[in-house]
């Protein structure tokens, strides 16, 4: 676990230096984010389903969906309880960043490093309901519309179609159907998938290099950091200890819940008139501190 976290930290440091030295510029970094989101991450998700399906896995499959649904409900409740006194333009990213964690972009490589391919498979299943909430309830935090218009917007958001109809469903179908590919195709899928961890971690470092931490630390930021990295995973840590579930599923739930703010917090803030600078600060602070809190959660999980 220590070696894995050190590797993650070093990859972030490499990305940070690459961006600071301007080896890769801002445009190149944005292109690499798109490459990661639309190429390596989908291949990584699809590859996680490349295992032999056994109907005995159906119970764990259902348990993961139950845990993911519980996590979504808890995070939505937390987003409504806190930040009521925050400024409106800050409240938008704060609520969104509480509902949504960086469980897909950053969570996949971390969980794969801890639990291997088996863990990555269940993490991909876990993210099915999380992505629905991310692009529906999460996006609604930035919108001020009448209820009918709001529902129409979030339900027709292109990211729902892109994510739900592509990697997850296709990978799940291929696994259950027992389909196999030629060795050349399997090696291609595996090779691109293996790029996801180093690329995504270095991109996190590049993003951190572009962020200005000056003036972002206030009481609300401290509160958000505690809620995002400590409170939500702590509640799930306690609740899952009472449930008769495998340690693997409990670990995936707590680790995804303890992930930092997602990059989409800043992107949606820019699009829907939230405080983009503050959203960037949320990503900066929680990503840096998660390098220390995630190993603690992993140690507590055993």
150: confidence class by pLDDT, cuts 50, 70, 90: very low
Nearest-angstrom CA–CA distance, 262 and 195: 20
Tens digit of pLDDT for each residue in 212-238?
767 677 889 999 999 999 999 999 999
Residue 302: is its pLDDT beyond 70? yes
Cα–Cα dist 273/232, whole Å: 27
Question: pLDDT > 70: what percent of the chain?
Answer: 81
How far apart (Å, rounded) are the C-alpha atoms in residues 12 and 197?
11
Residue 151: φ, ψ to 5°: -60, -40
pLDDT at 144: 64
DSSP single-letter state for residue 137: I
Q: What is this structure's pTM?
A: 0.75
Rounded Cα gap, residues 300 and 302, in angstroms: 5
Name the band, by pLDDT with cuts 50, 70 and 90, for residue 169: low
Query: Which residue bears the tokens 């993490």?
Result: 123
C-alpha 112: how far from chain center: 13
Q: What is the pLDDT of residue 47?
A: 73
Q: How much of the chain, in percent, has pLDDT values that exceed 90?
A: 27
Q: Read off the tokens for 203.
A: 């991109």
Q: Say if CB 257 and CB 72 are below 8 A apart.
A: no
DSSP type of residue 24? S
- Cα 76 from chain centroid? 16
Residue 184 has pLDDT above 60, yes or no: yes
pLDDT at 171 over 80: no
The answer to whether residues 133 and 76 touch, using CB atoms and an 8 Å cutoff, is yes
Cα–Cα distance for residue pair 48/147, rounded to 1 Å: 37
- Calculate the CA 121 to chain-centre distance: 15
pLDDT tens profile 238-283: 999 999 999 999 999 999 999 998 877 876 776 677 777 788 788 8
pLDDT digits (tens, 9 = 90+) for 28-63: 887 887 787 678 877 877 776 666 666 666 788 889
Q: Hunting for tokens 């649904």 — which residue is that?
A: 69
Please report where in the chains the tokens 């050349």 appear, as a residue: 184
Torsions phi, psi for 25 (to 5 deg): -80, 180
- Which long-range CB contacts under 8 A does 278-281 form with residues at least 24 apart? 278/89, 278/90, 278/93, 278/216, 278/221, 279/93, 279/97, 280/211, 280/212, 280/216, 281/211, 281/213, 281/216, 281/217, 281/221
């Amino acid at each position: 676990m220590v070696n894995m976290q050190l590797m993650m930290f070093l990859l972030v440091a490499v990305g940070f230096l690459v961006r600071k030295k301007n080896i890769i510029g801002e445009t190149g970094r944005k292109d690499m984010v798109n490459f990661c989101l639309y190429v390596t991450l989908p291949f990584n998700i699809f590859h996680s389903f490349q295992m032999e399906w056994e109907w005995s896995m159906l119970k764990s499959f259902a348990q993961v969906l139950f845990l993911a649904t519980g996590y979504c409900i808890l995070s939505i409740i937390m987003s409504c309880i806190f930040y009521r006194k925050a400024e409106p333009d800050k409240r938008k990213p704060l609520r969104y960043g509480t509902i949504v964690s960086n469980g897909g972009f950053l969570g996949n490589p971390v969980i794969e490093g801890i639990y291997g391919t088996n863990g990555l498979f269940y993490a991909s299943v876990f993210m099915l309901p999380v992505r629905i909430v991310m692009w529906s309830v999460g996006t609604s935090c930035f919108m001020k519309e009448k209820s009918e218009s709001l529902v129409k917007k979030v339900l027709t958001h292109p990211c729902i179609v892109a994510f739900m109809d592509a990697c997850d469903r296709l990978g799940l179908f291929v696994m259950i159907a027992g389909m196999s590919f030629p060795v050349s195709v399997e090696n291609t899928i595996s090779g691109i998938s293996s790029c996801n961890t180093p690329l995504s971690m270095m991109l996190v470092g590049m993003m951190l290099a572009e962020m200005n931490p000056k003036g972002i630390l206030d009481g609300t930021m401290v509160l958000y950091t505690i809620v995002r990295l400590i409170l939500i995973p702590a509640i799930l840590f306690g609740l899952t200890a009472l449930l008769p579930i495998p340690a693997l599923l409990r670990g995936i739930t707590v680790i995804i819940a303890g992930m930092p703010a997602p990059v989409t917090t800043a992107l949606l803030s820019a699009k829907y008139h939230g405080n983009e600078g503050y959203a960037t600060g949320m990503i900066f602070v929680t990503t840096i501190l998660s390098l220390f809190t995630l190993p603690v959660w992993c140690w507590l999980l055993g």
